Structure 1
Amino acid sequence: MTEFNLLVGGPSNMWPVDLAQQITVPWIAADRGALRLLDLGITPQVAVGDFDSLTTAELATVQAQVADLRYAVTDKDETDTELALALALTELQATRVTLYGATGGRLDHLLDNLFMLLQPRFLPYCQRVRIIDRQNNLRLFLPGVHTITQEAGQHYLAFAPLTAVTGLTLYDTKYKLTNADYEQPIMFASNQFTQKSATFSFRTGVVAVIQSHD
């Protein structure tokens, strides 16, 4: 498995409390995420972005400590997060990418970080990506039968078709569902595990699964 962590620009108060200890997996940084990682004592393997959120002195610090910087123009169609994720999944051929700093703050940034996974270039790889913050663990799934394991401390389980979905079945959660079809996005919140794992399936579409706690 080739695994990377990716820090993007969301507020630090939504980071998991143990973020600074996540040093066994190499890091990629999007824009100001590079400086934030350096402040935590973590040197990213790659930093990507236009770096317009950094002062001249801050950029000099990043340039002095990060060996691989990928510069982007400021006026572009892609966000720095998209550029960093594309780098991880294509050039670095990551089999798992965990996004931190992708939630909280501006709602347009949150939705962009979620909806980018539905882009045709990312969709085939979406099951390799996780979005994690202090309260939530989000993953996307493609059609098939899937079994997920309950994460430590996560008491709630939610299923959210993000597209039209057919045949959604929840086999062994507290609230079950059998062969249901939906033509638009919908959220099934506040479900729960009844054992250490849960199995679900669907025939077409994309489903987000969120584990969370209060």
Structure 2
Amino acid sequence: MTEFNLLVGGPVSRWPLNLAEQTQVPWIAADRGALRLLRIGITPQLAVGDFDSLSKAELATLQAQVKDIRYAVADKDETDTEMALQLALTEFKATRVTIFGATGGRLDHFLDNLYMLLQPRFLPYCERVRLVDRQNSLRLFLPGTHTIVKEPDKPYLAFGPLTAVTGLTLYDTKYHLTQRNDVHPMMYASNEFIKKSATFSFKSGVVAVIQSKD
């Protein structure tokens, strides 16, 4: 398994408290995320972006410490996060990417980070990607039968069809569903694990699964 962490531009206040300790997995950073990693003692393997939010001194610091920097123009059709994720999945062949800094702050940025996983180029890889912040862990799933493991600090579980979904069945959560069909996005919130794992299935569409805590 080839794992990468990816830090993007969301608020520092939404980071998990132990983010600076997560040094076992190599890091990729989008734009200002690279400088933020350097400031907590982590040198990213790759930095991607137009870096237009950095001062000349900050950019010089980045260039002196990060060996692999991929520059982009400021006026472009894809975000720095999209560019970084594309490199992680295709060039670096990542089998798991955990994205930090993708939630909180501006809602348009959060929705952009969520919806990018539905793009045709990312959708086949969406099950490899996880969005994590201080309270939440979000993954997307494609049709089939899936078993997820409870994260120890997160008591709540939610299932959210992001597209039209058929046959959604929750087998062993606190609240069950059986062959549920939805034609528009919605959220089955505030469910719970009743054991250390939970199994669900569906026949078509894309489902987001969120583990969370207050």
Q: Is the structural similarity TM-score above 0.5?
A: yes
Q: State the distance in 2 between where 1:180 and 1:97 align.
A: 30
How far 1:154 moved relative to its partner? 0.2
User: Residue 115 of structure 2 corresponds to which residue in structure 1?
Assistant: 115
Taking only the aligned residue pairs, the percentage that are identical comes to 76
User: Residue 56 of structure 2 corresponds to which residue in structure 1?
Assistant: 56
Q: How does 1:56-95 map to 2 (within 5 A)?
A: 56-95=56-95
RMSD: 0.3
Q: How does 1:142-161 map to 2 (within 5 A)?
A: 142-161=142-161
TM-score normalized with structure 1 length = 1.00
Number of residues of Structure 1 aligned to a counterpart in Structure 2: 214
Q: State the distance in 1 between where 2:21 and 2:135 align.
A: 17
Instruction: Give secondary structure in 1 for the equivalent of 2:181.
Output: strand
Query: Residue type matched to 1:147 in 2?
Result: T
Query: Residue type matched to 1:209 in 2?
Result: V
Summarize deviations over 1:124-163 as a string: whole Å, max 9, x none: 0000000000000000000000000100110100000000
Q: How does 1:182-197 map to 2 (within 5 A)?
A: 182-197=182-197
Q: Structure 1 residue 23 and structure 2 residue 18: aligned?
A: no
Summarize deviations over 1:172-194 as a string: whole Å, max 9, x none: 10110000101000100000001
Instruction: Give secondary structure in 2 for the equivalent of 1:47.
Output: strand
Q: State the distance in 2 between where 1:173 and 1:2 align.
A: 31
Summarize deviations over 1:46-96 as a string: whole Å, max 9, x none: 000000110110000000000000000000000000000000000101000
Q: How does 1:99-110 map to 2 (within 5 A)?
A: 99-110=99-110
Q: State the distance in 2 between where 1:14 and 1:116 align.
A: 20
The unaligned stretches of length 5 or more in structure 2 are none
Q: State the distance in 2 between where 1:64 and 1:210 align.
A: 38
Q: How does 1:22-41 map to 2 (within 5 A)?
A: 22-41=22-41
Q: State the distance in 1 between where 2:47 and 2:152 align.
A: 31
Summarize deviations over 1:5-38 as a string: whole Å, max 9, x none: 0000000000000000000000000000000000
Q: State the distance in 2 between where 1:23 and 1:195 align.
A: 30
Q: State the distance in 2 between where 1:145 and 1:74 align.
A: 42
User: Residue 199 of structure 1 corresponds to which residue in structure 2?
Assistant: 199
Q: State the distance in 1 between where 2:152 and 2:21 align.
A: 17
Q: Structure 1 residue 12 and structure 2 residue 3: aligned?
A: no
Query: Residue type matched to 1:108 in 2?
Result: D
The unaligned stretches of length 5 or more in structure 1 are none
Runs of 4+ in 1 over 2 A off after TM superposition: none
Instruction: Give secondary structure in 1 for the equivalent of 2:111.
Output: helix
TM-score normalized with structure 2 length = 1.00
Q: State the distance in 2 between where 1:24 and 1:53 align.
A: 28
